[in-house]
Structure 1
Amino acid sequence: MKTAPRRTAPRLLALLPALALTTGFVAGCSEGGSSDGASPSVSASVEATGQVAENVGKFSYEGEDGKTALELLQEKDPGAQVQGEGEQAYVTAIRGREADPATEFWGLYVDDEMAQVGAGALETKDGQTITWKLEEIQQ
């Protein structure tokens, strides 16, 4: 009985460009060369991504006398998305991260305490820390 010839070589050759790209990407993610010639750690890249993802859900800035939390948010993040205006404004996205209206919202905090009014009505003061946190809606 005759068996079909194996076609391993073409498959292997097809994988070489992907392997080269992956190796180049991992090497490019390191923050400098290693003097011992060791390969960079992939886990360092994953940890950096985790840090970026963590920061997407929180955004802080300092309060300023005479300015609302909404005015300052729009200065610090011109791309922030808001529905409504003034005291009726509702923040839907910060730093490109849109809250899922079915499960999330951007909560407003002043010095680590949840604000009792909306961003358009909250007059800030010098020295206050204004923080927005992406939070889950409690059902």
Structure 2
Amino acid sequence: MNTISRRPLRAAVAAAAAVLMAGLLAGCAPDAQPDATSQPAVSVPSDAASGSASPSDDASSSAGAETFSYAGRTGATALELLLEEDPSAEVTGEGENAFVTAIGGRAADDSKKEFWSLSVDGEPAQVGAGTLETEDGQEITWTIETY
């Protein structure tokens, strides 16, 4: 009988992904800071069919990176704001265990080892989207990354 729990392995994989994400995002600071009334910004490859999408101007550590940004709001979590800005976003789990799998119709591709990473004012988030309390004036950004 196998009594080994998979939870420690999942935690180790999540921690490794977070460390990798931090390294990948180190050079991805945005060019301009939006104000609290700004609209969300989506950046996808130019062959996308969405009218609100445009090619990314950011210097990214991965070619063709896709991003989704919006302003923070005091008292709201990054996850709450994401779901307000993009009701079609897909999430597995809830609260502190929430994991974003798709934004703007763009799903992270497990076969390509992709994931949606979260940053605040250009810095990798230290907690998950369901736990991250945002503040007015912050820029919340989601970017497709690989591990």
Q: TM-score, normalised by structure 2?
A: 0.57
Q: Closer, same or farther in 2 for the Cα pair 1:48/1:88, shift >3 Å?
A: closer
Secondary structure of residue in 2 paired with 1:133: strand
Percent of residue pairs identical: 57
User: Structure 1: 5+ residue runs without aligned partners?
Assistant: 1-46
TM-score normalised by L of structure 1: 0.60
Compare CA radii of gyration and give the structure with the larger one: 1
For the aligned residue pairs, the C-alpha RMSD in angstroms reads 2.2
Aligned to 1:40: none
Q: 2:119 aligns with which of 109, 117, 123?
A: 109
Query: CA shift at 1:52, angstroms?
Result: 4.0
Q: Which residue of 2 aligns with 1:9?
A: none
1:93 alignment partner AA = A
Instruction: Please give the alpha-carbon distance, in whole angstroms, between the structure 2 residues aligned to 1:91 and 1:54.
Output: 22
Following TM superposition, the consecutive aligned residue runs of length 4 or more in structure 1 with deviations greater than 6 angstroms are: none
Gaps of 5+ in 2: 1-44, 57-64
Per the alignment, in what secondary structure is the counterpart of residue 47 of structure 2? helix
Number of residue pairs matched? 91
Greater helix share, 1 or 2? 1
Match of residue 38 from structure 1? none
2:141 equivalent to 1:131: yes
Q: Which has the higher relative contact order, 1 or 2, with Cα contacts under 8 A spaced 6 or more apart? A: 2
